[in-house]
Amino acid sequence: MTARAAKRPHRTRVLCLSGPNLQLLGVREPEIYGHETLALVHERLAARAKELSATVDCRQSNHEGLLLDWIAEARTSFDGILLNAGAFTHTSLALFDALKAVAIPCVEVHLSNPEAREAYRHESKVAAACVGKVAGFGPQSYLLGLEGLLGALRR
């Protein structure tokens, strides 16, 4: 390691995963999810991460298997995970198992408040594998989740 590399502060690496249908932010049910696109959410998240001496790698997939692959790969590349699993939140034991297996701190994120919506959205299958949850603040939930995750990692 060079002397210059040794002087650079460690930048906490966060993987941000968004699940099914989140690529439709801005056009999908804006009365629930708002008008901001996922690209803009990711842009704002990256800027905030930089301010907090962190980096964020944002990804979205409609495919549960791909989300599982990314979580497994995170074990050696990331310090923490932000996860908006979308509808998989309420159905996926596989995501729960993957989060438990990698043992990386994860914060569950939701644009809306699932507990204030339909009854079938009240149960999260992934919550027990997460250090925290932020819900109901629209796109701001991602930023609040990032701040909470970084705080948990630095404690």
The tokens describing 98, both together, are: 């993957």
Q: Which of 10, 33, 35, 42 is catalytic?
A: 33
State how far Cα 114 lies from the chain centre: 16
State how far Cα 13 lies from the chain centre: 12
Distance CA 97, CA 64 (A): 13
Distance CA 101, CA 112 (A): 28
Known catalytic membership, residue 33? yes
Q: Which of 35, 63, 110, 142 is catalytic?
A: 110
Known catalytic membership, residue 63? no
CB atoms within 10 A of CB 139: 21
Distance CA 77, CA 3 (A): 23
Going through 28-122 in order, the beta strands assigned E by DSSP cover 54-60, 80-84, 106-110
Question: Active-site positions?
Answer: 33, 110
